[in-house]
Amino acid sequence: MKLEHEVVQDLYPLYIENDLTSSVKTAIDEHLMECEACRKFYETGEKTVHITEMEEPTVSKSLDEKIILKMKLNRLRLISVVLAGILFSMVFTDYINKREQLFMATDGYYDALQLMDRMDDMVKNKEQISLQPIEMEISRFLEYNIMLKDNLNFIEEYQKKSTEFSLSLNTQRLNAMLEVMKIRYNLGRWSETDESAFHALKDYFQNHRQDFIEDYEKTHHGYSSYLHILDVKKMDKFYENVNLLSYSYTRFHKMPDRIQPMRESELKNRIADALVIDRDEIELEKESPVNAMYVYHFENRNGFGGDIDAVTGQITNYVGDTGPLTNGPIMDQEEAEKKARFYLEKIYGKDINLEVVSLGFNFNSSANDSRYKVYSFKAVPKVQGYSLYTPFETETYFNLNARNGELESFDHNRHVPSFEQLNQVHFPAASDITGDKQAVMIYSALTGNFELVFMEPDLENFEEGKFISAKTGLEEKIYFEF
């Protein structure tokens, strides 16, 4: 490769930086051996040859492209460094901002924990009528809980994903627990279970506040605070304790250690017996306790299934495969009701008295295919002639394929854990109607059992005075599933 004087001198900076390809460098070395002017220039850095006196240089096209490419690569390197710096600055700034938000959240979180000591004054004080102040504190605690979780760093977030409750608190159930305690205390129905649950709840909040002091202090300790990692796993133990306590107390009026969930083998046996499914086909998967405490989802090998409560053993919902749609003949109503009673006995047992109420065809269904025909029913439990009342039309519904009589779907009343104890209930004698009040059976939030009450029909489901116990004449409260 033969190079001209001007090209050799223009390549001097790249030659010095050793940024030339070996072929170009060799060509320059060969030129310098023959050209004294260029050699002196490379030795001194000063030009001794006037460009005007030289011949017009001719640069090969390939060399020109290589030089341009080299310059572009250098420019890209510079841009990459600048962009990396900008990106790092953005990530660092975002991290700093989130940590500062976290510090603010720990302030409010710790303060809310301190104010939860007001539970004594709210619950065990008959002069304190409303629980609104403590409910506001719980709501405030939840706000800071959300703020805290939204600003965890990637290490804390990773730890949170491995926890069971993900720092989540069922505040609706906690408020319901405090409300039940308040009613029971005011009505003189306070029991050993109430006292144990109340002290356990107080201890959980006080211990959590004590444990959180270290995190609180380390997030208020100058620059080192930005590097502090919250002990998320330790924090989640508090949420586990409170959620389990509020669940067992409000649902069964028991302490958590009195709740014994069934083994998976027992659950599979119940599902197989109730729904006539091959036990070996059943797959169980435990739901997250944040969304559903002690609930398992089950499926058969065809992907049909539902949910079962591991504490009561109650199948809560089911969707089955009844075969393809056809235009075959529809079974008569009497035969359908026999099938309905067969499935109810399989699911609930023969000892429970359930009134089967026909709802006609395709109740609450929006199927567009005219071949879709199901008999719809609801099951209403009865004890000594009294019907079970539940709010918001949440009865037990089920559908049978109108052509082959197979169970297509089933939904257990979600506000009643199970009907299993109904056959053991004995109510005091009461007239069905007293004035404008009707005698009905409810699942009580105050006792965690079935109770006979006089119901005021004009009041809303959640208003005070809706239910009066037929046994004690005191206020009763219906249970709501949260």
pTM, two decimal places: 0.80
**pLDDT computed for residue 10 by the predictor:** 78
Tokens of 2: 């033969």
**pLDDT computed for residue 46 by the predictor:** 67
Give the residues of the chain that fall short of pLDDT 50.
48-54
| Cα angle for residues 446, 449, 451 (degrees, 5° grid) | 85
Q: How far is CA 41 from CA 22, 24, 34, 47, in A?
A: 21, 18, 13, 5
Taking CB atoms within 8 Å and a gap of at least 24, the contacts of 358-364 are 358/333, 359/397, 361/402, 363/397, 363/399, 364/397
Contacts of 310 (CB under 8 A, 6+ apart): 261, 262, 267, 286, 294, 295, 296
